[in-house]
Amino acid sequence: MSGAPPNLFVVGAMKAGTTALHGYLDLHPEIFMCDPKEPGFFARADRSEAELAAYLALFAAGTEARYRGESSTQYTKAPGIAGVPDRLVRFAPGARILYMVREPVARIVSQYLFNMRIHGEDRPICQAVREDPRYRQIGDYHAQIAPYLARFGRNNLRILSAERLSADRQATMNEVFGWLGLDPVPVTRELRKNTAADGLRRYGRLTALLLRPELEPARRAIKRVGAEDLARRAWTRFNPPRPSPVTDTEIAELRALLAQDIATQQAALAPLMGAHPPDWSTPHG
């Protein structure tokens, strides 16, 4: 294997704050986080040598960094995407693994809005959750992270809550940097979050078209020339956000539906999260 391969992986969960975490990690001079954020290389087993070379090229600029990382949420979408922990441990047996969790109702609402925008989800949210097991599977945090614990060990894996990262990002990131054996650096500015609600726009079909994967090179070019904020302001003026279609009544129904899931996840995660176990006793925010 040529070059300096990645050794830091944010593996999920989808819609749990991984975009913000990716950006905060990238602020450290000893950490290089790749762009695009989610290459998803290990989501498939049948990768060619050319694909491997292209994947490793994403980290070429981080050769001198102590850590090179990526943040692919596909890595915790079992059983739909299976075998990722095995492929990852064969590739990087000493890697550090980070996993984000989020209050389950909030995470599912965000996933639902994402599916509306990208996949044409048109069922009411509670019907969608009852009929499509993937909503709950992705949020079965303990089941998703258990294979990583078994393969990488407790010392090489850390679980963070989106709520704590949002409430006290400096203290949270100081702990992450310390866990990585790095000195803390200031994390004073709030980075843009990849929120599903931001993607619900007046012109939904146009939004979905512009978010197609084949346009990723153009989006990266806009970032490289420093025009991302300007492009976002222009886009918001032309295609403003629209209110979330999920009502308070639906959220209350969803919370009742997921009550046992929430209790189970809190109990399972508490021993793994040390001094900062998840507290999801308050309603979805």
| Domain count within the chain | 1
Residue 278 lies in a domain: no
In a domain, 232, yes or no: no
The CATH number for 15's domain is 3.40.50.300
Residue that wins the pLDDT comparison between 147 and 232: 147
What digits encode the pLDDT tens for the residues 170-182?
999 999 999 999 9
Tell me, yes or no, whether 277 lies in a domain.
no
Residue 52 CB neighbours (<10 A): 15
How wide is the angle at C-alpha 263 spanned by C-alphas 259 and 264, nearest 5°? 115
pLDDT tens across 22-33, in order? 999 999 999 999
Residue 204 inside a domain? The answer is: no
- Looking at residues 254-274, what average pLDDT do you find? 95
Is 47 inside any structural domain?
yes
* pTM of the predicted model as reported, rounded to 2 decimal places: 0.86
Higher pLDDT, 206 or 81: 81
Question: Are 217 and 225 within 8 A, CB to CB?
Answer: no
Quickly state the pLDDT bin for 117 (edges 50, 70, 90): confident
Residue 283 falls inside a structural domain: no
Which pLDDT score, from 0 to 100, does residue 62 have? 96
Range of the domain at 99: 8-104+139-194
Q: Among 36-45, 183-192, 241-250, whose mean pLDDT is lowest?
A: 183-192
Of the chain, the percentage scoring pLDDT greater than 90 comes to 74
Give the pLDDT mean for 37-57.
Answer: 97
Q: 96-101 and 8-10: which strand pairing? A: parallel
Q: Is residue 84, in this structure, part of any structural domain at all? A: yes
d(CA 126, CA 131): 9
Identify the helix (H) or strand (E) that includes residue 260: helix 259-269
Band (pLDDT 50/70/90 cuts) for residue 198 is very low
In a domain, 76, yes or no: yes
Please give the pLDDT value at position 285. Answer: 44
DSSP 155: G
